[in-house]
Amino acid sequence: MVADNLHYHDTTVTTEHKVTKYGHRPCVIWLTGLSGSGKSTVANVLERKLFDLSVKTHLLDGDNVRMGLNRDLGFLPHERKEGIRRVGEVANLFAQSGTVVITAFISPYAEDRQAARDACSQDFLEVFVDTPLEECEARDPKGLYQKARQGLINDFTGVSAPYECPDSDAPDTLRIDTTLMTASECAEVIIERMIKMNIIGAQ
């Protein structure tokens, strides 16, 4: 063990080692937007396209977080804040492992999104999935807006709780409009930005 301990630092695999091996840099692609805005759809199409480009990817969304890591949390403001904090920390762990991690959560508060960015030791791109409330409500894929309007759901973002829009002029923020583009086109815009950020090479 003594000899091994002397070589401890040599044995540690760093993020840079993984960058070299995987052939791309890691980052967090943080999708934010109203319920029904298309975050999950865009996230899935984006992951598929990146995966087909041999990028190491992972998608974090409500499906794999709510019933697991965040299952002790409800929808009270401080619980939502803690939930987003954990997602930010986990996204950072994935990025440290060399992965391009895509998150798809409403994450309505600018402060919480900033905290996720601050927790991240790798590149972080905030993507505002900008779909007007009327359009989200017209789609209402899970019937949640209807329930919120009926008062059956409290603190529903866009109806009875605020959504703080990202500043889409910020250099590390991207705004995509799902009423003008298909999910595939939205994903392509994100990939173009990732190429400009030197996360992946030009295709």
- List of residues contacting its own copies (CB under 8 A): 1, 3-5, 8, 11-13, 17-18, 21, 38, 41, 44-45, 47-48, 51, 54, 56-60, 64-65, 68-69, 72, 82, 86, 89-90, 92-94, 96-97, 99, 119, 178, 182-184
CA 203 to chain centre: 23
In whole angstroms, the minimum distance from the beta carbon of 151 to its own copies comes to 28
Least gap, CB of 165 to its own copies (angstroms): 20
Shortest Å, Cβ 185 to its own copies? 9
The CA distance from 13 to 98, in Å, is 11
Catalytic-labelled residue, pool 35, 40, 107, 121: 107
Residue 67 or 202 with smaller CB distance to its own copies: 67
32 contacts 128 by C-beta, under 8 angstroms:
yes
Q: Which is nearer to its own copies, 44 or 153 (CB)?
A: 44
Which three-class secondary structure state does DSSP give residue 172? coil
E-strand ranges in 138-186 read 173-176
DSSP state of 169: T
34, amino acid identity: L
Which string of b and e fits 46-58 if b means at least 16 CB within 10 Å?
A: bbebbeebebbbb
- Of 5 and 150, the one with the shorter C-beta distance to its own copies is 5
35 is catalytic: no
* Catalytic machinery residues: 107
